[in-house]
Structure 1
Amino acid sequence: MSVDGWNTVLVLGGTRSGKSEFAESLVSDAPVVRYVATAPEGDPQDTEWAARLAAHRARRPGSWTTEETAGDPRRLADVIAAAEPNETLLVDDLGGWVTVLLDPAHQPADDTETIAELATAVRGCLARLVLVSPEVGLSLVPTTPVGRAFTDALGATNRAVADACDAVVLVIAGQPAWLKAPDAAVTAAPAATAPVAAPPAVNGAAPEPTPELVDFSAAADPAAAPPLPVETATDWTAPTTALPMVATGLVIQPGMDLPMPDEYAGPQAVERLATLDVPGAGLGVLDRLVGFAAATQGTVTPAAWNSVRVLLLNGDHEGGAAAGTRPGESARRAGQARAGRGALARLAAECGASLQVVDAVTAGPMEHEPALTGEQVESALRYGWRLAEEAAEAGVQLLVLAACGAGTEAAAAAVLAATAGAEPPAVLGRVVTENGEIDDAAWMRRCAAVRDALHRTRTSPRGAKEVLAELGGGDVAIATGVLLGATARRIPVMLDGPVGVAAGLVSRDLAGQARHWCLLADHGGDPAVKLAADILGLTPLLDLRLDLGEGANALVALPMLRSVLALAAALPTHPSLGGGDVPGEDADGDEPDFAEPEPAGPGPTSTEPQEPDFAEPEPAGPGPASTEPEEQPASGPRAG
């Protein structure tokens, strides 16, 4: 929804004014809409009324769901009050609701109290809510008691709901006129809007600041990159309603329908590798890389990723999850990256990649309390989505997820245990001190924290947002938003470490397509990464067992992956298969500039091939009756 500054809006208008179409346009970009129909079916003999209802149904996309409240007008307030923050509701219309409310079948009743309950539900609604209602106060006073009762009740309803809504618009002859606008300007949403990088302010608040970008794409020496100022704390942890909506208006919720990679380009690209002019057996297991790049780029000859951005997520976890970690270590790592120092920044400079340090809110001790609130989860998901949107607008072709927070390994193990039923000790890696020694006591404290957190949440739902709130923390939530946003913009993401794979596991409930845009260069020997990769269907391309920090391992492999893609795209087809240079011709297709050598002595006048000057040796003993050579099976990398 390309609207700014409102969470609930009332759309008024006369008969055939276009109010319903305008209301539908406000939610046209939402992937799923709950359409709340209030009008009764009416007389079966009234074909004109049936046609009106059929026209309304025909306009609704197939992804919308319809809910009827005509049976009980009081249920409308319950539906609105129970709506989740990630939902979008369209109520059409309040005129039908008042008609049912005044129906004798629902009398005697306190109509005034019922209208007040509806207004209270609208005022406290957490979902995006659009209500449609006819404006009948401009005509003469009806001459019948029923007509006057309807006009009075509808007028009272419109006034109460308009007071409870953030915005009110009157549609006249298809033209909207905003009677009550929020602080920011509100505009109608077209049927399809192009995403933009920087959403405008909402509710009078400044847009959420984007982290500074350290761009090494043109720097040969990472030390030459100017140090950047330390960023101030971001306000992404503010309530959802105070944050900019994603530019596309998309509400992040379970079951989103995001794009998939090209299902034909990948296999065709791998088949093409068998025809290339290479002297050896080919690319080996790296043919999977070519297939992945081809599918995500939609071509059988994928290009190497030239524009790469690394997102370093810096978010600590309190409690036992961070046992064995020196306080302030993650902040020091993040500061190094901002200044262009440290392993990650130097490798990014070598690869010509840009680096963006993203600060996440510190997660609470999961063994005692939820890591995040529900509002923080919503905000973190949208924040990650926005980072992916901005990368897409900047022309980034590949995102690399990295993390440096304290306690990320334990949080990832808790997510893996909650979503896949893994045993925490089996997926929680050993704790290694700065001196290279194994700290078993710290490892046991981490295991105990994960165990206690799982026990505390044993009766909690295991949905994506619930897992992020209870166990995941800010870094995993932002990483999940990045995966979803990158999937929506068709950008592949290279995972490297526990945070990335934990985000991949969580994203399955929100959009199952996200995992198909993920690439895993190496599991690094981490048990959580290995198990999560198996669950996600990600096969590591390498087995280097590097441990340079999350994100740095991927950058070590990136130059080789680029080389493989460049080689696969540039090599011609083998001459035996009709490609490359043809024997007997120059590169330009002309006849060769040389003469046939003369024989050294007398020889046959014919140039036909002659029989060899030797006789077939007689077998030393009994053998097959035929001396014809037996047909041998084909062999070699190009056999068949």
Structure 2
Amino acid sequence: MSIDGWKRLLVLGGIGSGRSEFALSLLQDQASVRRVAAEEFSADPSELAQLLRRARADETLLVEGLDAWVRVLLDPAHQPADDRATVAELAGAVGDCAARVVLVAPEAGLGAAPAEPVERAFADALGTTNRTVADACDAVVLVIAGQPSWLKVPQPAAGDAPAGFPAAARPGARPGGTGGTGAGANGVTGAPAVASVGIPSQPRQAPAAAPVAAPAPTLVSAPVAGLDAAEVDFAPGMDLPMPDDTTGPQAVARLADLDLAGTGFGDLSRLVSFAAATQATPVPAAWDRVRVLLVQGEHDGGLAAGHQPQETARRLGQATDGTGALGQLAAAAGADLQVVSAPPAAPIEFRPALDEATVEAALRTGWALARQAAADGVRLLVLAAVGTGTDGAAAAVLAATAGTEPPMALARVVGPGGRVDDTAWIRRCTAVRDALHRSRYAGRSAREVLAELGGGDIAVATGVILSAAAHRLPVLLDGPVGIAAGMVSRDLGSQARHWCLLVDDGGHPGVRVAAEVLGLTPLMRLGLDLGEGANALAALPMLRSALALAAALPPHPQPAATDAGDEPAGSDGTGEDAEPAGAEPEFAEPAPQGPGPATTQPQTEPESGVGQSAGRAG
């Protein structure tokens, strides 16, 4: 990597977005730039990779028109051929290129899906090319209306500013820019991508030289390998393990013997029982390795009513650079953060959110995420979510799986400054209602619910919960996306819910409904609404403290036994009626005094009123 932070950059954008102008602006300080038109390689598309491999270290290349290169690749004149192998060869050449290289391509995910089969095949091929090349680049930027939004941020050396970037284009300099969610290949067509995000080398400084209290969280950017189709079958009746059914009660019984000044752990005894069962030990340890899986999902149509533009990008940036609630709490807890970009969902009031192949890919990616976490030694997963329309998608899933009405599953829409937007809430309710009506003849199996209503983020979260159960990894649920995924995972593997713990329902009506159906009683009711995932992280220190205390406290000392010969003498000097020191005397029913309820014998009537009065007085 070069001294200014990047060496290989992919610039994406729609038609007329200004992507080419932005790419040129990045290279305006270079003495010499070699411009390469990708469509020049019409005779042999693989020659572009050869050109990149031959480039010298002192050169700067600007490769434009990757979409034209893809059309050349798909030309019948070059068929039959292994298109994926050619794309992989290009990405390998980009990664090995000695020169600095900037590649420019249109983003395939903008606009409606093409109606013609040929154009759909081109869009799929272009999307595959963009994802594969992006994985080989140091940085990726999406240009919209001339404004850059950094999807994958380079990692400059400590103290080095990325001199190759104009001030307005530097990662993090624009308020609307993201902290980075790069695309990682997972080997499954249409599967969500695992983020690859750079970690700032120095803690971010606030204005007036005031240091930020918490550093950025540790980011996990390792790609998730694709799964063999025969490895797991997402069908009802999945064979998943259950937590240990003996260690939980043993741990709770052990709490009663601890040396405490008070009466015990209260509702947190359920936490100790859960940890003991999932760890298969009556003395569970506090969770030392925690990973936050932040799933980003986008839902179009009425579900997005009231959502602020660029809000998702801003929240993602705050999470990764440690300035938002989720990022600060993750850093303070020493938790890893892994960002996953799920495939966007179509407006569910008009058509299904996803096709079946994308649902399958999303489930498998979620499965691989939890499997990877278990292999990395993670002891606890926190399921978080961010994105446009996620509350509405979760409400649609809950309406289909729990039978609740949309208004009972949708929280109020609160905008900046705490302003309640009832109009947006009505639009979301209407979209969910219309989606349920549109899909009324569709099945209600787990896959069909995800395809018709749920979308990519809930599908990924479902795969995470199922895989976590399979790998005996507990999950903290927090918010509507996670709880909706819990409802769907119940229909595939009923054991999965026993590996989930709900810390707080946050006052969210949909979470309350689903928690009751799943039997997940919240540990506490603080009404936290810091953002999905942040609520659980805020409570995590207390959960850890309770588990550490339960494991470290000694048992209460038992009273010392006394010898028979040392027993103190009673009132008669024989010692038979003596009580041990400090013991309470045995309770004895007092003898009745005069007539009353305790009297068992009939009372004799006094001979005169005088005697009766005297008896009552006595």
TM range (shorter): 0.5 to 0.7
Instruction: Output aligned runs, 1:155-304, within 5 Å.
Output: 210-212=194-196, 223-225=214-216, 244-245=226-227, 249-304=231-286
CA deviation after TM superposition for structure 1 residue 361, in Å = 1.6
Measured in 2, the distance between the counterparts of 1:519 and 1:342 equals 24
**1:90-149 deviation digits (Å, cap 9, x = unpaired):** xxxxxxxxxxxxxxxxxxxxxxxxxxxxxxxxxxxxxxxxxxxxxxxxxxxxxxxxxxxx
Query: How has the CA–CA distance of structure 1 residues 316 and 535 changed in structure 2, closer, same or farther, with 3 Å as cutoff?
Result: same
Q: Of 455, 470, 477, which residue of structure 1 is paired with 2:437? A: 455
CA deviation after TM superposition for structure 1 residue 562, in Å = 0.8
CA deviation after TM superposition for structure 1 residue 563, in Å = 1.0
Contact 1:415–1:502 under 8 Å retained in 2: yes
Query: How has the CA–CA distance of structure 1 residues 608 and 221 changed in structure 2, closer, same or farther, with 3 Å as cutoff?
Result: farther
Measured in 1, the distance between the counterparts of 2:214 and 2:530 equals 19
Contact 2:303–2:431 under 8 Å retained in 1: yes
Instruction: Output aligned runs, 1:618-637, within 5 Å.
Output: none
Specify the SS of the correspondent of 1:547. Answer: coil
Q: Of 329, 336, 346, which residue of structure 1 is paired with 2:328? A: 346
Measured in 1, the distance between the counterparts of 2:365 and 2:579 equals 79
Indicate yes or no: 2:542 matched with 1:560.
yes
Instruction: Output aligned runs, 1:580-591, within 5 Å.
Output: 583=560
Query: How has the CA–CA distance of structure 1 residues 268 and 548 changed in structure 2, closer, same or farther, with 3 Å as cutoff?
Result: same
Task: Name structure 2 gaps, 5 residues minimum.
Answer: 1-183, 204-210, 563-571, 581-587, 601-618
Specify the SS of the correspondent of 1:399. Answer: strand
Q: Of 345, 348, 351, which residue of structure 2 is paired with 1:369? A: 351
Residue 436 of structure 1 corresponds to 418
Measured in 1, the distance between the counterparts of 2:375 and 2:229 equals 12
CA deviation after TM superposition for structure 1 residue 249, in Å = 1.8
CA deviation after TM superposition for structure 1 residue 523, in Å = 0.3
Measured in 2, the distance between the counterparts of 1:477 and 1:200 equals 18
Measured in 2, the distance between the counterparts of 1:441 and 1:245 equals 43
Query: How has the CA–CA distance of structure 1 residues 354 and 213 changed in structure 2, closer, same or farther, with 3 Å as cutoff?
Result: farther
Query: How has the CA–CA distance of structure 1 residues 381 and 222 changed in structure 2, closer, same or farther, with 3 Å as cutoff?
Result: farther
Please identify, of 275-284 and 248-257, the stretch whose mean Cα deviation from structure 2 is larger: 248-257
Residue 497 of structure 1 corresponds to 479
Contact 2:215–2:331 under 8 Å retained in 1: no
Measured in 2, the distance between the counterparts of 1:206 and 1:454 equals 25
CA deviation after TM superposition for structure 1 residue 225, in Å = 3.6
Specify the SS of the correspondent of 2:387. Answer: coil
**1:455-482 deviation digits (Å, cap 9, x = unpaired):** 0000000010110011001110000010
Residue 36 of structure 1 corresponds to none
Q: AA paired with 1:465?
A: R
CA deviation after TM superposition for structure 1 residue 279, in Å = 1.7
Q: AA paired with 2:540?
A: L
Q: AA paired with 1:564?
A: A
Contact 2:283–2:550 under 8 Å retained in 1: yes
Q: TM-score, normalised by structure 2?
A: 0.58
Task: Name structure 1 gaps, 5 residues minimum.
Answer: 1-198, 237-242, 577-581, 586-603, 627-640
Specify the SS of the correspondent of 2:440. Answer: coil
Equivalenced residues, count: 393
**Identity in percent:** 60
Residue 453 of structure 2 corresponds to 471
**1:399-445 deviation digits (Å, cap 9, x = unpaired):** 00111111111111100111111100111111111120111100000
CA deviation after TM superposition for structure 1 residue 245, in Å = 1.6
Query: How has the CA–CA distance of structure 1 residues 417 and 226 changed in structure 2, closer, same or farther, with 3 Å as cutoff?
Result: closer
Residue 533 of structure 1 corresponds to 515
Specify the SS of the correspondent of 1:519. Answer: strand
CA deviation after TM superposition for structure 1 residue 211, in Å = 2.7
Q: TM-score, normalised by structure 1?
A: 0.56
Contact 2:301–2:346 under 8 Å retained in 1: yes
Query: How has the CA–CA distance of structure 1 residues 303 and 434 changed in structure 2, closer, same or farther, with 3 Å as cutoff?
Result: same
Q: AA paired with 2:278?
A: T
Query: How has the CA–CA distance of structure 1 residues 441 and 621 changed in structure 2, closer, same or farther, with 3 Å as cutoff?
Result: same
CA-atom RMSD in angstroms: 3.7
Q: Of 535, 548, 558, which residue of structure 1 is paired with 2:530? A: 548
Residue 496 of structure 2 corresponds to 514
Measured in 2, the distance between the counterparts of 1:396 and 1:302 equals 15
Indicate yes or no: 2:373 matched with 1:391.
yes
**1:203-225 deviation digits (Å, cap 9, x = unpaired):** 9x999864337899xx9977544
Query: How has the CA–CA distance of structure 1 residues 390 and 276 changed in structure 2, closer, same or farther, with 3 Å as cutoff?
Result: same
Contact 1:493–1:519 under 8 Å retained in 2: yes
Query: How has the CA–CA distance of structure 1 residues 622 and 487 changed in structure 2, closer, same or farther, with 3 Å as cutoff?
Result: same
Contact 2:217–2:320 under 8 Å retained in 1: no
Query: How has the CA–CA distance of structure 1 residues 618 and 609 changed in structure 2, closer, same or farther, with 3 Å as cutoff?
Result: closer
Query: How has the CA–CA distance of structure 1 residues 542 and 342 changed in structure 2, closer, same or farther, with 3 Å as cutoff?
Result: same
Query: How has the CA–CA distance of structure 1 residues 246 and 252 changed in structure 2, closer, same or farther, with 3 Å as cutoff?
Result: farther
CA deviation after TM superposition for structure 1 residue 336, in Å = 1.4
Q: Of 480, 483, 487, which residue of structure 1 is paired with 2:469? A: 487
Specify the SS of the correspondent of 1:311. Answer: strand
CA deviation after TM superposition for structure 1 residue 367, in Å = 0.3
Measured in 1, the distance between the counterparts of 2:310 and 2:358 equals 23
Q: AA paired with 1:211?
A: A
Q: AA paired with 2:492?
A: L
Q: AA paired with 2:227?
A: M
Specify the SS of the correspondent of 1:254. Answer: coil
Indicate yes or no: 2:360 matched with 1:378.
yes
Query: How has the CA–CA distance of structure 1 residues 224 and 522 changed in structure 2, closer, same or farther, with 3 Å as cutoff?
Result: closer
Measured in 1, the distance between the counterparts of 2:318 and 2:261 equals 44
Q: Of 387, 402, 407, which residue of structure 1 is paired with 2:389? A: 407
Measured in 2, the distance between the counterparts of 1:215 and 1:569 equals 35
Residue 318 of structure 1 corresponds to 300
Q: Of 292, 298, 310, which residue of structure 2 is paired with 1:328? A: 310
CA deviation after TM superposition for structure 1 residue 268, in Å = 1.7
Specify the SS of the correspondent of 1:334. Answer: helix
Measured in 2, the distance between the counterparts of 1:303 and 1:346 equals 24
Query: How has the CA–CA distance of structure 1 residues 443 and 283 changed in structure 2, closer, same or farther, with 3 Å as cutoff?
Result: same
CA deviation after TM superposition for structure 1 residue 512, in Å = 0.9
CA deviation after TM superposition for structure 1 residue 254, in Å = 2.3
Please identify, of 431-440 and 245-254, the stretch whose mean Cα deviation from structure 2 is larger: 245-254
Q: AA paired with 1:520?
A: L
Query: How has the CA–CA distance of structure 1 residues 206 and 324 changed in structure 2, closer, same or farther, with 3 Å as cutoff?
Result: closer
Contact 2:195–2:340 under 8 Å retained in 1: yes
**1:144-189 deviation digits (Å, cap 9, x = unpaired):** xxxxxxxxxxxxxxxxxxxxxxxxxxxxxxxxxxxxxxxxxxxxxx
CA deviation after TM superposition for structure 1 residue 244, in Å = 2.3
Query: How has the CA–CA distance of structure 1 residues 214 and 386 changed in structure 2, closer, same or farther, with 3 Å as cutoff?
Result: farther
Query: How has the CA–CA distance of structure 1 residues 202 and 381 changed in structure 2, closer, same or farther, with 3 Å as cutoff?
Result: closer
Contact 1:227–1:340 under 8 Å retained in 2: no
**1:266-296 deviation digits (Å, cap 9, x = unpaired):** 1221122122221211111111111111110
Measured in 2, the distance between the counterparts of 1:208 and 1:456 equals 26
